[in-house]
Structure 1
Amino acid sequence: MKGLWSITLLGGLLWVSAAAAQDTDLDCDNAMTQLDMNACAYYDFQAADLVLNEAYAVAMARAKNYENGADVALRDAQRAWIPYRDAACIAEGQLYNGGSIRPLIEYACMATLTERRTQDMRLAYQEY
């Protein structure tokens, strides 16, 4: 499964790299081609991932204030969640196997699940 994800991600990154090389002024609010929409979905996922990393850092700092191993539990949960997210989105993308929309489906899924994880983490660790 890891190999499949690597191939899928690499293909998506190459797809996005090609789009970025062709159009450095990509207007994601008005993306018209599949290539542009795929690139924009990737950028959305990357932005969501940055926000999650910030929320995780805050949550980890708070978890370290507890002497009961809350920080280890949070780290382990996050490490388990990432492969879940990736596998779930690959499964969703598989419905479009061979289609040019597949990267958009997978990156949109990853962005959505990442945003949900961020919300859950903020609620649990009271980050506002």
Structure 2
Amino acid sequence: MRWAIVFLLFPMSAVADPTLECIDAGSQVEIGSCVSDMETRVNAAIDSSYSLALGAARELDDVTGRAVATPALEASQNAWTAYRDAQCEAVGASFGGGSGTGIAITACRVDLGRARVDELLRYAN
């Protein structure tokens, strides 16, 4: 019973692997397409949440009269993008060139992207 309560308290994105969300898609090609569509939506969410966070950073800089928050957020976003790309390439490399490599890389990008949206939205508040 406790596990059911814990499971209900966590958002699905925190516990679900993107490939498992697409498992009903059928073939590997269809799963790849499903995960790719998911990445497109996550990238749009990243762009939107980054824009909100950037607005909050600019407002803070205006209020304080210091140009600190905006450059820090920009540097953070650039570093996160580099990390995401390197991390997901490492995940893909662990597949040894197998047919699931592309799906694994895309699923990694979705997973890390979802976490980044959460971080950016916390910054925007």
TM-score, normalization by structure 1: 0.72
Query: Is the CA contact 2:35–2:103 (under 8 Å) kept in the aligned structure 1?
Result: yes
Instruction: Give me the whole-angstrom Cα distance separating, in 2, the residues matched to 1:43 and 1:108.
Output: 11
Partner residue, 1:31: 25
Deviation at 1:29, TM superposition (A): 6.7
Query: Is the CA contact 2:25–2:31 (under 8 Å) kept in the aligned structure 1?
Result: yes
The 3-state SS of whatever aligns with 1:79 is helix
| Structure 2: unaligned runs, 5 residues or longer | 1-21
Are the structure 2 counterparts of residues 93 and 29 from structure 1 closer, same or farther at C-alpha, using a change threshold of 3 Å?
closer
Is 1:103 aligned to residue 102 of structure 2? yes
Partner residue, 2:48: 54
Instruction: Give me the whole-angstrom Cα distance separating, in 2, the residues matched to 1:113 and 1:87.
Output: 12
* Number of positions where the alignment pairs a residue of Structure 1 with one of Structure 2: 99
The two structures, once aligned, show a CA RMSD in angstroms of: 1.3
Is 1:85 aligned to residue 84 of structure 2? yes
CA deviations 1:70-97 (Å, max 9, x no partner) are 1111011101110100110110111112
Is 1:120 aligned to residue 114 of structure 2? no
Are the structure 2 counterparts of residues 29 and 101 from structure 1 closer, same or farther at C-alpha, using a change threshold of 3 Å?
closer
The amino acid across from 1:41 in the alignment is: V
| Structure 1: unaligned runs, 5 residues or longer | 1-27
TM-score, normalization by structure 2: 0.74
Larger CA Rg, structure 1 vs 2? 2
Deviation at 1:125, TM superposition (A): 2.2
Deviation at 1:39, TM superposition (A): 1.5
Matches within 5 A, 1:68-79: 68=66, 69-79=68-78
Query: Is the CA contact 2:45–2:117 (under 8 Å) kept in the aligned structure 1?
Result: yes
Partner residue, 2:16: none
Identity of aligned pairs, percent?
A: 27
